[in-house]
Amino acid sequence: MYDRILGFVLVGVSVVYGWSAYQFEVPFQYEPLGPKAFPLILAALMVMSGIGLIFRPDRLAPFPDRKGLANLALACVIMFFYAATFRWFGFILATVLAGSLIGWLFGAKPVRAVAYAVVLAVVGYFVCGDLLRLNVPAGALFG
């Protein structure tokens, strides 16, 4: 039941997010795909995930207990700080810090959480920077 609710919320948020990204106009093109591509791809993936939750929910998943809700709230705080420090720390360092903390928060051993976050950050940097040709910040901390 809760998966379906989350699915409907995710679809609704995704449609609004995709619509707002579609309305985004810039006077010049500074990336091969333009500034709309990544948000529109993300919105499409979010819609597909939401539809998946609506039509194929996990019937045995209980509603999170207090600890689970606290972990989810703390993960949202971590993501807020990730977004706030993204330009200053740069993509790789900010992603390693956020990924490590969230991995550790949800039960990974600290060494495994950091290792996963490093792989995620490096692969994500090259996918976004080289493959998609998006401007990925190196960070003001590193010049």
Q: Model-level pTM? A: 0.71
Helices 110-126, 91-105: crossing angle, 10 deg rounding: 140
DSSP SS3 for 33: coil
Please provide residue 36's backbone torsions phi and psi, each rounded to the nearest 5 degrees: -85, -25
pLDDT cut 70: percent of the chain above it: 92
Residue 28's pLDDT is 67
Residue 135's pLDDT is 80
Question: What would the two tokens of residue 5 be?
Answer: 């609710």
With tokens 């995710």, the residue in question is 10
Residue 143's pLDDT is 59
Q: Which residues of the chain have pLDDT under 70?
A: 28-34, 141-143
Residue from 61, 48, 47, 73 nearest 1 by CA: 61
Residue 59's pLDDT is 80
Residue 142's pLDDT is 66
